[in-house]
Amino acid sequence: MTKLQVTPRNGEIVLSERVGRISVSATLAVMMEAEKLRAEGADIVDFGAGEPDFPTPDNVKEAAIRAIRENFSKYTAAGGTLEARKAIANRHAADFSTSYAPSEVIATAGGKQAIFNMISCLINPGDEVLLPVPYWVTFRDVINYAGGRANLLETREEENFDLTAEMVKNALTPRTRLVIVNSPSNPSGAVIAAREFERILEVTAGHGAVLLTDECYCQFLYEGRPFSVAALPGAKDHVVVVGSLSKTYAMTGWRLGFALAPAPLVSAMVKLQSHSTSNPSSIAQKAAIEALTGPQDSVQTMLKEYRRRRDFVVEKLNGIRGVSCTIPRGAFYAYPNVGAFLSSGVSGERGRAGNGAPSTNELAKKLLREAGVAVVPGEAFGTEEHFRISYATSLETLAEGLRRLQGFFSGQSH
């Protein structure tokens, strides 16, 4: 029998240095732990998962069933079929008045793969990527994997985690090649206003860097109209849009995302994709075409429900002594500050040394074990005092989880 290549001394498998630079997604880690407890019979309220609780709309399901029946089950072009790429470009044009040609579109197995491809194709070892904090976990890991350096840019909770062009300008360095923005933000729900977005683009493009705008939550906005920076005159040369059908159409498991980018970058991403996953599922592409070109009312139905849940969750969280929560203006996450329950006492008079958990990681574990509520600790998103609560779950579940949170926190020292 052939043996795996192992180190001669301790017999351990030697992993690449590259993979050693990334960690298991903290969101998945919480889901796995909650799953384990559930399998042992525990009653867990899960606020960890970042996915809609709504089913995929029926017209989308039907399109996929049709595709299977019609044997649309072969390889497609590695970057997605022409029909799928046109549907993606046309939807973006209809929503935001952009104009992307099919050669400027790649269909991917989820937004994650678009981000992975894009960063792999753009970042050389040592290049810097400006990443606002709190950030969505995957950005940082993919930058590390590519050998880049994440230059973390703190936003302030007192200012609703707003990112401004001034902050971006002051943080750029001669090595900055990429600036990442995610509006509405996972995890904070912060939204960049159109005028500020324009200034951020000016500053980034003026510096010769690329602006990656992650629009995965672009339709889930509680104030104002959805906006894409890619619609601004001259933006297309400097902007990469990453999008996904996962949240907009409740299709997380289907794995269909995309990027809109200058054609040479798209070609490089297709080349990379052709040697890794190749085309996204042919069936999912047909489903995506229906989602993007068919009726859009399911999006508004979800948004209406998310708004109700947001209002409920934020009010309840702010009603818990020691907890404070900014109002998310988009996406479906609340990002409450629980620093008062940490022993480190990171935020001024809050938290008293000696009491409480040493970190939100530990506090989240305690919460899961003692109250049966799964949340994602803020460390995963680069802040020390927060939890991320996904409110993409029913009002009944939210009410039960918040009742448990209230009970848990009233029993903690702060």
Where on the chain is the footprint of ligand PLP (CB under 6 A)? Answer: 50, 110-112, 136, 182, 186, 214, 216, 244, 246, 252, 257
CB-wise, 239 or 340, nearer to ligand PLP?
239
Q: How far is the CB of 134 from ligand PLP (least distance, A)?
A: 11
Q: How far is the CB of 112 from ligand PLP (least distance, A)?
A: 3
Of all residues in this chain, which one has the CB nearest to ligand PLP in the complex? 110
CB-wise, 78 or 114, nearer to ligand PLP?
114
Q: How far is the CB of 179 from ligand PLP (least distance, A)?
A: 15
Q: How far is the CB of 237 from ligand PLP (least distance, A)?
A: 23
CB-wise, 132 or 336, nearer to ligand PLP?
132
Residue partners of 296: CB distance under 8 A and separation at least 6: none
Q: How far is the CB of 252 from ligand PLP (least distance, A)?
A: 5
Q: How far is the CB of 249 from ligand PLP (least distance, A)?
A: 11
CB-wise, 303 or 346, nearer to ligand PLP?
303
* C-alpha dist (Å) from residue 186 to 45, 247, 248, 290: 20, 12, 14, 27
List the strands of the sheet with 376-377, edge to edge: 333-334, 387-390, 376-377
CB-wise, 192 or 357, nearer to ligand PLP?
192
Residue 71 in tokens = 């044997």
CB-wise, 185 or 360, nearer to ligand PLP?
185
Nearest to 235 by CA among 217, 210, 267: 210
Q: How far is the CB of 238 from ligand PLP (least distance, A)?
A: 20
CB-wise, 56 or 246, nearer to ligand PLP?
246
CB-wise, 114 or 342, nearer to ligand PLP?
114
Q: How far is the CB of 107 from ligand PLP (least distance, A)?
A: 11
CB-wise, 81 or 252, nearer to ligand PLP?
252
Q: How far is the CB of 182 from ligand PLP (least distance, A)?
A: 5
